[in-house]
């Protein structure tokens, strides 16, 4: 297949980043994040699985069945680290890990430690769930990167042998099935490019072509993007990471074949994502129930899922679309995700990670050093270390600058090789100098991306006597001339502070604004604002100014201004009280990517313009605890005073016992001092309508604390479990320091609560 795309990426091996923003992050990633990821793969048994599968260690498989993929992603990241800087010690360690992987491979090429250590008869029997092809895809990507970094075939031979086995099992004349979690499609294209073996492209195309076709198999549904043939899809659906990996693979095949059906589908889906389902940070996938997409304009802030891996998928997809179309709008989205929704996923010290990236927090959301489902930490690692491959692109007669990063690159164009040097303080400053050094003078274009956020742009050359023909096309300022050594092109992108409003159909942001400067979205964090930010409003006439702070959060530019602070404390259950005047309050906003790197506290991206839009504060006189709370949920949801629209409301915070099922569980309130109470109202969470696994409980009871013991409340009416309403239980008034709800979960289901009110006398 001949490449049909308009542009080719300049590989990261031909790019050197040395700026004040990304170079320190890449250094931290090499020195901290990479060893941390390897260490966690060792401590959690992920690497030992290969030793066990090779028969060199006793033991069972532990953790998720797709844990092999985490090891492969860390190896891929290590390969990129070696491309950037030779490291004999790292190479030795990588060789040791690869030897363990190779030893676990079976004679026919099969390699998956979960199946090797469990029931081998189930191989290839549950592609929707068990992720064999997903793991194989990450093995292939790691192998390609390792070969490109070292020239060694140790891992590549393993991957080729496994790919050949898969090719012998699946295809038009073999088994018709697809992976439930996409990934192998884009990996096979990478393998074909490296090896020149066309079979791998054909197999990738087969997996894509089979989606949504029920002639010879059962469909997996829209969660797996398997509800319609790809050419017929117009809306993004299902699990966000899977969707992005599929779209990346489709873009790869479209680039190879020029298939207009695939190209049109990608264009329609891209419009759906960017115009209706993407956060201002570039994050995607608002819902925890499917880790993915819901309906247009459903973009809640505090409960935003916006998985880090999904942001990485957005970068992969938009990079491919930019190369396919040669249009800057895809690089605009890539930049938006890169600096915001992706970068927030990793801490400044490189060893803590967000799985989800909400746009608001009451102080209960924090990065963690690792996850049982650990897809995000190694994924962030490999993206950061491969960043150089996203900066530049080229065609036969043009160089494209897609990201503004202090760097140098060697780029083939117009029959010569050009050394390009970019000098800039981006993203803090929009001035860019491009120094051009062709091996031989040649006629070509230098195309400078004009970001969608930029309204006023100036371009020019250092040599004012030499006219430059500059046109604006497809989002690029194109400077056409005969370039010679020493030529310099200049670009100036002013960075005013902008107030951004959301489409009125985004219910969560009605009457609110967000702040953006250059490519960066800003947020207010409690650490800079007296411990609270959710009581602030930003009037339309508020004056704002930027200030660079080299002493803060690794050198950031902050936004300072004056907001209005409204005292919304002390309401308890009062219906009316004296109206308090809002007071002026100076505030500091920091780049969104940098939040939660200091003390825990509140955070907001979207600020109301009027005090009337402030949410009520949580009930302060209760403290909640439970037998279990899922990591994506919060106990604070029980008393945050956000009233549900239905039992299936995914737009507000919630508490659930997920993934516990069929069990007896409890949740309790401890009061700040003894209080006389006489009723409770419980709004149960039930996501049956969304295909989730939570239902109202089979039964429940209410207890009050009596001394050191708990006793059931007296005179309680029927314990209701009705949908879409508060279930009220009145009882004989009692003075107590706490209440406890005990539930029996239904059959095979879990359960949860959206709001729990306590009625006092």
How far apart CA 289 and CA 650 sit, in angstroms, is 8
Tokens for 678, please give them.
Answer: 């006489």
Active site residue 291: yes
Instruction: Give the DSSP letter of residue 292.
Output: B
Instruction: Give the DSSP letter of residue 268.
Output: H
Active site residue 135: no
How far apart CA 432 and CA 233 sit, in angstroms, is 40
How far apart CA 204 and CA 531 sit, in angstroms, is 52
CB 366 within 8 A of CB 601: no
How far apart CA 570 and CA 577 sit, in angstroms, is 10
The half-sphere exposure of 442 on its side-chain side, counting CA atoms within 13 A, is: 21
**What is the sign, positive or negative, of the torsion defined by CA atoms of 26, 27, 33, 35?**
positive
**What is the sign, positive or negative, of the torsion defined by CA atoms of 693, 695, 698, 701?**
positive
Residue 350 has φ and ψ, to the nearest 5°, of 80, 5
SS3 416: strand
CB 104 within 8 A of CB 53: yes
CB 622 within 8 A of CB 669: yes
Q: Nearest Cα to 222, choosing from 209, 208, 210, 236?
A: 236
**Residue matched to tokens 């990608």:** 266
Which residue is catalytic, options 183, 291, 335, 602? 291
Tokens for 76, please give them.
Answer: 């891929």
Tokens for 731, please give them.
Answer: 């009882």
CA–centroid distance for 590 within its chain: 20
Which residue is catalytic, options 41, 135, 224, 375? 375
Largest CA distance in the chain: 93
Which residues are annotated as catalytic?
291, 375
């Amino acid at each position: 297949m001949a490449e049909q795309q308009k542009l080719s990426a300049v590989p990261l091996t031909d790019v050197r980043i040395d700026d004040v923003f990304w170079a320190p992050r890449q250094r931290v990633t090499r020195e901290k994040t990479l060893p941390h990821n390897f260490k966690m793969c060792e401590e959690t048994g992920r690497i030992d699985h290969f030793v066990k599968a090779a028969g060199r260690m006793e033991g069972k498989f532990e953790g998720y069945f797709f844990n092999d993929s985490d090891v492969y992603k860390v190896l891929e990241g290590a390969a990129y680290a070696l491309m950037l800087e030779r490291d004999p010690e790292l190479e030795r360690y990588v060789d040791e890990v690869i030897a363990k992987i190779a030893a676990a491979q079976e004679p026919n090429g099969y390699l998956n430690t979960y199946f090797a250590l469990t029931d081998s008869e189930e191989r290839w029997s549950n592609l929707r769930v068990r992720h064999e092809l997903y793991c194989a895809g990450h093995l292939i990507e790691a192998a390609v990167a390792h070969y490109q970094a070292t020239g060694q075939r140790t891992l590549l031979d393993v991957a080729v042998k496994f790919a050949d086995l898969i090719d012998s099992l699946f295809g038009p004349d073999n088994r018709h099935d697809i992976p439930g979690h996409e990934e192998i499609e884009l990996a096979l294209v990478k393998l074909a490019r490296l090896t020149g073996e066309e079979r791998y492209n054909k197999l990738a195309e087969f997996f894509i072509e089979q989606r949504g076709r029920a002639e010879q198999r059962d469909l997996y549904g829209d969660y797996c993007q398997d509800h319609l043939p790809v050419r017929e899809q117009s809306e993004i659906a299902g699990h966000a990471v899977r969707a992005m990996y599929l779209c990346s693979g489709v873009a790869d095949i479209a680039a190879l074949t020029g298939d207009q059906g695939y190209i049109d589908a990608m264009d329609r889906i891209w419009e759906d994502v960017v115009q209706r389902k993407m956060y201002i940070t570039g994050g995607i996938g608002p819902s925890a129930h499917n880790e993915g997409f819901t309906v247009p304009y459903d973009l809640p802030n505090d409960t935003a899922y916006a998985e880090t891996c999904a942001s990485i998928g957005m970068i992969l997809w938009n990079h491919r679309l930019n190369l396919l179309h040669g249009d800057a709008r895809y690089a605009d989205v890539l930049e938006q995700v890169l600096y915001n929704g992706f970068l927030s996923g990793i801490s400044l010290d490189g060893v803590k990670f967000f799985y989800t990236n909400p746009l608001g927090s009451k102080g209960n959301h924090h990065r963690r050093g690792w996850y049982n489902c650990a897809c995000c930490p190694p994924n962030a690692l490999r993206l950061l270390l491969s960043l150089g491959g996203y900066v530049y692109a080229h065609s036969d007669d043009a160089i494209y600058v897609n990201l503004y990063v202090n760097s140098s690159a060697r780029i083939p164009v117009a029959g010569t090789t050009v050394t390009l040097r970019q000098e800039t303080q981006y993203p803090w400053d929009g001035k860019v100098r491009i120094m051009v050094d062709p091996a031989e003078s040649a006629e070509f274009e230098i195309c400078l991306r004009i970001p969608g956020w930029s309204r006023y742009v100036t371009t020019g050359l250092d040599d004012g006597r030499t006219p430059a023909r500059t046109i604006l096309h497809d989002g690029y300022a194109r400077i056409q001339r005969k370039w010679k050594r020493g030529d310099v092109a200049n670009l100036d992108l002013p960075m005013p502070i902008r107030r951004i409003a959301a489409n009125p159909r985004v219910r969560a942001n009605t009457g609110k604004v967000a702040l953006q400067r250059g490519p960066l979205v800003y947020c207010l964090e409690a650490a800079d604002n007296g411990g609270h930010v959710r009581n602030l409003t930003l009037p339309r006439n508020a004056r704002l100014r930027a200030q660079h702070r080299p002493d803060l959060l690794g050198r950031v530019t902050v936004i300072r201004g004056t907001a209005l602070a409204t005292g919304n404390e002390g309401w308890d259950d009062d219906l009316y009280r004296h109206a308090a005047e809002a007071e002026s309050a100076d505030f500091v906003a920091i780049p969104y990517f940098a939040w939660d790197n200091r003390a825990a506290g509140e955070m907001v991206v979207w600020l109301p313009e009027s005090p009337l839009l402030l949410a009520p504060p949580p009930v302060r006189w209760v403290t909640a605890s439970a037998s279990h709370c899922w990591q994506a949920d919060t106990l604070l949801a029980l008393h945050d005073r956000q009233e549900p629209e239905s039992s299936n409301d995914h737009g507000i915070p919630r508490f659930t016992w997920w993934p516990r099922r069929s069990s007896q569980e409890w949740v309790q309130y401890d009061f700040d001092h003894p209080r006389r109470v006489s009723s409770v109202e419980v709004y149960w969470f039930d996501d049956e309508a969304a295909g989730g696994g939570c239902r109202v409980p089979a039964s429940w009871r209410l207890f009050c604390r009596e001394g050191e013991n708990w006793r059931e409340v007296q005179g309680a009416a029927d314990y209701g479990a009705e949908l879409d309403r508060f279930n009220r239980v009145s009882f004989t008034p009692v003075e107590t320091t706490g209440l406890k709800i005990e539930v029996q979960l239904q059959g095979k289901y879990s359960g949860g609560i959206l709001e729990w009110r306590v009625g006092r006398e």
